[in-house]
Structure 1
């Protein structure tokens, strides 16, 4: 299915809050992995928009195994002067010949694939892919590299912590095969530390949590996307759990602002949580989504009754470091973010079959 461009208002929002950053990228060529995913699509469209609006000579080389498949779905990005495509696998791609002073390693995003890869394959993609990108950074003389890591590296958030800070020493259970994503990202961060120590490579780390916005997949095990899919399909929302887990969501336009700021102004090897610190329960999230389209409101049902006295599970970042050191903020309120996302999906066309609700 052909997907429409991102909303002009969202791209203008990115440009407004990154205006001071783009001059540092004038005349530069970025190398971007994961450019065909949710994060990557937002980065590519923001780069194209900034180049056009600011008349900047900025280009990006985008690594992809099958660029033609992506461009068939996003024809508005085909033939863009700002984008060059480099075919290859993240684990063993050939190095392009041009010089790239800035690298954004955004491969391996946080949502679950409809048909998950084998755990070892996923781990190799994260770890071998990160090492390949770091080797390329040395080869090309990159000055700044951004790793999109994940809040999954903290493991389960302690029940007595309202927000999890970067200093939290928790970790996933390394004996649990389902922790492969979090452990892979932890290893990727360790590789960045080793390359910084041994080679002086400046790597910035963005620990990303949960997001919403146009291009959000609706058919993955990702609660907010599932709820939107139900509303777009005219279905009531059915929560399979008790609805108590607490989550927070950052709009993708704000995500791009945060990622570019961390790339250009963040301190090397000083991780920054990326996300919203404004928590709400899964049940309240469902109710908010269910009433976001006037005239098309839906009902919400919850399968299980909460256990009395049991604290809710949380996945909510502390973003005080990003605020105090980099001046980053949550600009788009969640209610607005949900409406913007639904409006874009209404432009896109029919939604997709239902998927289980992740908590």
Structure 2
């Protein structure tokens, strides 16, 4: 046994062999939304550890370029599919990440968003029931709404407007969590639930309306950085590599079903974030521009990660300054390869919405 192996904790040794099923053979994994921002980083993590991976994506916000490095690999399969329709595959684990996660996308076709959260989750739970697979739901800190307590613990039920413009996502995820727990209690489905707080990193969509991507794109274009409200509302920002490690640990432990918060407890105001982005791009001519705060936008959000520390032995390790530097470099490189990425066809700062996302009249979609 090497000195490196001796130093590994029992939990880490367990995680190292999770890619191999009991009795031999590779663990076969389905990642819904696997061509998206977080999903593609999770795919990289699993493929590099020897898993047999199936990515299911309808390419609403996902991109084939995010998974291109694995095309042709014997352990990789890509299926273009919308999870509101049934999917018949044989798998051991399901990472259920499929759903647009930025307001500009999930609000564009709100009915489609809530169908993905409810019908899509029912379909994935049904698949887990049929195959005996363990299923992990990627839920969100949005289930806490505009919280009354800080930081947010998993036992907090939230303060959500169920009829607001964000509710298709907020309430959709709350219902998805309910479905997961009901399938667990009623049918014995092996579940895990993760509540993801603000995450950033390479491969974020340029015009997705999230604050990190908005600020970076505006700075690269030398447009003024748009800050809503007084700039003192705060968020915590977790680098995607840290998040993926936490998701993987939650899936492959047996002490809790969750929900478990995953995020960085470090809290930054929007003004501080804008200043950090401009520090990464000293050549930018951008200034800060203040606008009214959108409806139902929470003033503060910060995770309590005590459960993640207890059950997963996890906490984020990448400081915001380091993660932002990597993210800005990725945006700049992609913009250099394809300058059109910085050009938005709608009003300044708005997101480009794929044709596949647009509502179709009289279909109920």
Normalised TM-score (structure 2) = 0.81
Looking at structure 1, the residues matched to 239 and 334 of structure 2 have their Cα atoms a distance apart, in angstroms, of 18
Q: Tell me how far 1:298 sits from its aligned partner.
A: 4.5
Partner of 1:140: 131
Q: Tell me how far 1:278 sits from its aligned partner.
A: 0.3
Partner of 1:10: none
Match of 1:168 among 143, 156, 159: 156
Alignment: residue pair count: 323
Q: 1:79-106: CA deviations, max 9, x gaps?
A: 122211234220113312x3x1111001
Q: Tell me how far 1:211 sits from its aligned partner.
A: 0.8
Looking at structure 1, the residues matched to 35 and 314 of structure 2 have their Cα atoms a distance apart, in angstroms, of 25
Normalised TM-score (structure 1) = 0.83
Partner of 1:22: 16
Q: Tell me how far 1:175 sits from its aligned partner.
A: 3.2
Match of 2:76 among 67, 70, 83: 83
Partner of 2:54: 61
Pairs within 5 Å for 1:235-274: 235-265=223-253, 267-274=255-262
Aligned pair 1:154/2:141, yes or no?
no
Q: 1:271-330: CA deviations, max 9, x gaps?
A: 11111110010001100111113x425453242699xxxxx9102111121112211111
Unaligned regions of 5+ residues in structure 1, if any?
Answer: 1-16, 52-57, 307-311
**Partner SS state of residue 275, structure 2:** helix
Partner of 1:275: 263
Q: Is the 8 A contact 2:87 2:123 kept in 1?
A: no
Q: Is the 8 A contact 1:206 1:271 kept in 2?
A: yes
Looking at structure 2, the residues matched to 136 and 238 of structure 1 have their Cα atoms a distance apart, in angstroms, of 43
Q: 1:173-225: CA deviations, max 9, x gaps?
A: 22335312111111111111111111111111000110110001221211111
Q: Tell me how far 1:356 sits from its aligned partner.
A: 5.3
- Of 179-188 and 82-91, deviating more is 82-91
Looking at structure 2, the residues matched to 152 and 21 of structure 1 have their Cα atoms a distance apart, in angstroms, of 29
**Partner SS state of residue 316, structure 2:** coil
Relative to 1, partners in 2 of residues 1:303 and 1:175: Cα closer, same or farther, differing over 3 Å?
Answer: closer
**Partner SS state of residue 25, structure 1:** coil
**Partner SS state of residue 247, structure 2:** helix
Looking at structure 2, the residues matched to 342 and 219 of structure 1 have their Cα atoms a distance apart, in angstroms, of 14
Partner of 1:3: none
